[in-house]
Structure 1
């Protein structure tokens, strides 16, 4: 891929697995899920299979440039107690280091906006780690901070 190669955003295809997997691994590595804390292979396999299951609300888009996958995003639709229409949760987004700063992340987010709107959603939301300041500079341009703090408890 050259720096001049155009970026194409498209739905992931079953034939993309080998090219998607290193991006997925890079995303998980960024968030500390590698080595002893790596996701089990079963989770990766289940995540992948959900993209192609018509009964699952989980979807994936990839960014392609010069014949290579250079980014991914996973998102899902769900009901919400404060809306009649569904909302979209952008769960994962990652771009290859080689294309950072070229608008790939923004293009992926905007593609999710389009898909969500077409699915009848009126809101897309996501979260990121407080240390991910590079990504937050982009997020501040394409969305608004809600002020909510996320709590979680493993069960």
Structure 2
């Protein structure tokens, strides 16, 4: 059953609830225990989300006065469009709220923000094993087939 959700920009007073969701998100991707993000990285991420001047922005999904999900987006120039593009870097829904429309509404809100800013494209990636999310993503966007490579610089 869909939840009654409010999607809104993240606020300073969301810090503790966001941090708990952020911890769960990172654990989902294996960043927990000895592999957990250091506290200075978590704080830097929060500071970027709170900076009105930076390219990093956050949305939260709220239900019954508690946070049940978030989306972190980054606007940046690119080499294939004149206008900026939007990278949906992180998208997370609390486990017990999955399959109830939260992620779909968060992505829809990202699309609306992009349209209001004149940004015509949004992209993101997820792990190939994230089959539940991919079922939704396949309805909302095109899988371009590109793979992500990462290396230490």
- The TM-score bracket by the shorter chain reads over 0.9
Q: Deviations over 1:92-124 (max 9, x none)?
A: 000001111110000000101111121221100
Helix, strand or coil at the partner of 2:50: coil
- Provide the residue aligned with 2:138 in structure 1: 140
- Residue segments in structure 2 that go unaligned for 5+ positions in a row: none
Helix, strand or coil at the partner of 1:51: helix
What is the CA-CA distance between 1:4 and the residue it aligns to? 7.2
The two structures have a TM-score, normalised by structure 2, of: 0.96
C-alpha distance in 2 between matches for 1:4 and 1:143: 21
C-alpha distance in 2 between matches for 1:103 and 1:61: 15
- Cα distance 1:5–1:134, how it changes in 2: closer, same or farther (>3 A)? closer
Pairing partner for 1:42 from 40, 43, 53: 40
- Cα distance 1:122–1:5, how it changes in 2: closer, same or farther (>3 A)? closer
- Provide the residue aligned with 2:4 in structure 1: 6
- Residue segments in structure 1 that go unaligned for 5+ positions in a row: none
- Provide the residue aligned with 1:130 in structure 2: 128
- Provide the residue aligned with 2:15 in structure 1: 17
The two structures have a TM-score, normalised by structure 1, of: 0.95
Segments of 4+ in structure 1 off by > 4 A?
Answer: none
Aligned CA RMSD, in angstroms, stands at 1.1
Task: Count residues in correspondence.
Answer: 153
